[in-house]
Amino acid sequence: MPVSSGQTPRFLRAGSWLSPEAGFTLPLMVFLMLLLPEFLLPLSRGEAMYALVPAEMLQAGQWLTPILNGVPYLEKPPLLYWLNLSVFKVLGVSDWGARLPTLAVAMGEVWLTYRLGSLLLSPGAAWLGGFILLSSIGFFYLHLQLFTDHLITLTLIAALFCMLRWLQEPRGLWAYLFHLSMGAGYLAKGMIGVGFPVLIIALFAWRLRQPRLGRLLCHPGGLGLLALVLAPWFVATEIANPGFAWHHFVDEHLLRLLGRRQPGGVSMISLPLFWLFLGIWLLPWTLLLPGALYRYFKEIRLSPEGSLLLIWPVVVLGVFSLSESRIEYYSAPALPPLALVLGWRVARALASPGDRSLPGALLALGLISLGAALSVPVLDWLCTGNRREFLGIFPQVSPVARQVSVSLPPLALLGAWLSRRRPPLALAAYSLLAMVLLGFTFQALIRLGPVRSDQSPGEYVRTQAAAGDLVVMESIEEFELGASLAFYAARPILMAQRHGLPRLLYPPHPRNNYLISASLLKELWAGPRRVFLLVDVSQPLEPFLRDARVGWSRGGKHVLVNGPGGR
């Protein structure tokens, strides 16, 4: 039985222009919202490997073993690479082409969130939940990045939707689709693709006192399909890359979960910062979340099925909270159920003329946004203390934060005043404010392009470097972060290794090892071959580089060039 949302507001009833039956409007909104930014933003250091790997696989005619900078890269399962490789084969290699599968995944996430929500809530509340999800900062920002976490989110929603449909109608079709979703989840990011739905469903079965859900998890045909999806990839990859199975299960899963994977702590953030980012991702709807969770928790005592929307985020957030391995966007699979809870709360508010939660949240949001500019130094201090990748990020967005401090308060306060007795107007004002905030987010991403991406130095190298020249990257802790430079330079690069970093977790053949020592860099710099060296100006230079010729400079980066006039 769906969790009650009160009487459905008139503008969300069937036949209206926002009819909940017209759920296709949600993926259409996602398409229109993300399409232009997908074309305008360059690939950042953190995401570019998901474009570089399939580009190199296409060039090598290789569909089995991922290749990164000319070396087998076995740290991630291949589903996202295969999707991008398919696009590259049809449309050619490009940064915008690499984003097309992620755009399709984003549309699918919102659509399935709505469909799943319609099984547990009223259709109107499910539509509102889908809208809240797509209009949140986290959904917009993260889906402009290439990450496997989007596929995990999509496959998790699909698996749980199939589980609910199987409960309604225990047919083999839903069992097969459930296990197929888990198989796709494993090929997206490994064990959590299976572990998350199994753990969520086990707790859900205990809450519902429904042991028959065990029949779904152990469905013979479904398990056979899951094995058929995964076994050929495992076996073929192990044959092609001996030692892959040990590396995959021990290094990439067990040791990573325990925080003992080496090198450790390079990309991880603290537990408080992980939870802080969860609040940031749900902005501007975050202020409604505590009250929504409290009221929803009280309500589901009458509808145990609704507990799925609480068990789901508890499992996702709990696993990463207990793990020593966490990054700020690992909370992404928890956003859809939280958005649905928020949609349920907003639907209740719209059905209750005396409910002041929306105007109150608008008022609080207006007051809080006054301090947006002041929060930037605090976030800078918190984030750079956790991850070196955040260096130089927040100073670039300070002008945008100042615009937020000026623009949002009057909009929020005016909306709160005009809508204090009209809940639909409060929702309209809140939605407008959410879209304005997404506009500022996109503006911030444009400003951060030169800092986060190596597009410009890569294009400079591509036009200036000859076939025998060397391209080297300095001041990098993780070898994956060199992918943006290599993608836009359209050639393999070398990386200077300092203090043991970066470090390859799956050692390649010595002749393919692109990590070089500081002493070898000095030798190459003084040698006959021309060297293009990308450095970060925030890091001190070696003495032999201090008088080097600067061939290109922007965004806190220099490309130094040796050769005539360079030394």
Average pLDDT, integer, range 459-481 = 92
Domain end: 352, 384, 410, which one?
A: 352
Region of 410 please: left (phi>0), alpha (psi -120 to 50) or beta.
Answer: alpha
Binned at pLDDT 50, 70 and 90, residue 6 comes out as very low
Q: Examine the pLDDT at 15 and tell me if it is beyond 90.
A: no
pLDDT of 2 reads: 60
Which pLDDT does position 288 carry in this prediction? 95
Q: Is 535 exposed, middle or buried (0-12, 13-18, 19+ CB in 10 A)?
A: buried
- What pLDDT, on the 0 to 100 scale, is given for residue 158? 98
> Which pLDDT value is given to residue 212?
87
Per-residue model confidence as pLDDT tens digits over 458-468: 999 999 999 98
Q: Strands 494-497, 470-473: parallel, antiparallel or unpaired by DSSP? A: parallel
Q: Is the pLDDT of residue 564 over 70?
A: no
For 373-429, write each residue's pLDDT tens digit.
667 676 666 666 656 666 667 777 778 878 888 888 888 888 888 877 787 888 998
Q: What is the mean pLDDT of residues 181-189?
A: 96
Average pLDDT, the chain: 87
Residue 75: pLDDT band (50, 70, 90) is confident
Q: Of the given ranges (9-23, 173-187, 550-564), which has the lowest mean pLDDT?
A: 9-23
Residue 272 has pLDDT above 70, yes or no: yes
Q: In degrees rounded to 5, what are phi and psi of residue 71?
A: -125, 140
Total Cβ atoms within 10 A of residue 540: 10
Is 140 part of any domain? yes
Does residue 292 share a domain with residue 414? no
Query: Which of 1-10, 78-87, 283-292, 531-540 has the least mean pLDDT?
Result: 1-10
Helix (H) or strand (E) holding 535: strand 531-536
* 494-514 average pLDDT score: 85
Q: What is the mean pLDDT of residues 57-72?
A: 93
Angstrom distance (rounded) from CA 243 to CA 115: 42
Place of tokens 């008139």: 10
Residues 394 and 424 in one domain: yes
**196 and 314 share one domain:** yes
Please tell me whether residues 461 and 371 are part of one structural domain.
Answer: no
76 lies in some domain: no
Q: Which of 147-161, 315-329, 506-520 has the highest mean pLDDT?
A: 147-161
Contact 296, 309 (CB under 8 A): yes
Q: How far separated are the first and last CA of the chain, in Å rounded?
A: 75
Burial pattern 183-212, b for ≥16 Cβ within 10 A else e, equals: bbbbbbbbbbbbbbbebbbebbbebeebee
The stretch 48-74 carries a mean pLDDT of 94
pLDDT range class, residue 565, cuts 50, 70, 90? very low
Range of the domain at 394: 353-448
Domain-located, residue 261: no
240 in the same domain as 130? yes
109-119: b (≥16 Cβ within 10 Å) or e: bbbbbbbbbbb
The predicted pLDDT at position 57 comes to 96
**459 in the same domain as 547:** yes
Instruction: Among 337, 352, 367, give the residue marking a domain's end.
Output: 352
**Same domain (yes/no): 348, 374:** no
Rounded distance between C-alpha atoms, residue 256 and residue 503, angstroms: 15
Q: Is residue 362 part of a domain?
A: yes
User: Given a cut of 80, is residue 329 above it in pLDDT?
Assistant: yes
Taking the C-alpha atoms of residue 318 and residue 265, their distance in angstroms, rounded to an integer, is 19
Amino acid 88: pLDDT: 97
Q: Could you tell me the CA-to-CA distances from 279 to 109, 325, 378 in Å, in that order?
A: 20, 19, 15
Q: Are residues 527 and 484 in the same domain?
A: yes
What pLDDT sits at residue 18?
44
Q: In this structure, is residue 2 part of a structural domain?
A: no
Same domain? For 409 and 555 the reply is no
For the chain, what is the domain count? 3
pLDDT category of residue 153 using cuts at 50, 70 and 90: very high
pTM of the model: 0.92
Token readout for 45 is 């250091």
Give the pLDDT confidence of 347-385 residue by residue, as tens digits: 998 888 778 888 889 888 888 887 776 676 766 666 666
pLDDT reported for residue 166:
95
- Co-location of 163 and 23 in the same domain: yes
Same domain, residue pair 331 and 431: no
For residue 118, is pLDDT > 50?
Answer: yes
- Stretch 8-32: mean pLDDT: 64
Q: How confident is the model at residue 12 (pLDDT cuts 50, 70, 90)?
A: very low
**pLDDT band at residue 110 under the 50/70/90 scheme:** very high
Report pLDDT digits (tens) over 32-59. Answer: 999 999 999 999 998 999 999 999 999 9
Last residue of a domain, one of 426, 448, 470: 448
User: Amino acid letter at 159?
Assistant: A
313 and 194 within one domain:
yes
Q: Is the per-residue pLDDT at 265 higher than 60?
A: no
> What percent of the chain is predicted at pLDDT more than 70?
90
**Per-residue pLDDT at 314 exceeds 70:** yes
The answer to whether residue 237 is domain-embedded is: yes
Would you say residue 14 has pLDDT above 50? no
Q: Give a yes or no: residue 252 inside a domain.
A: no
For residue 416, the model assigns a pLDDT of: 83
The reply to whether 204 falls in a domain is yes
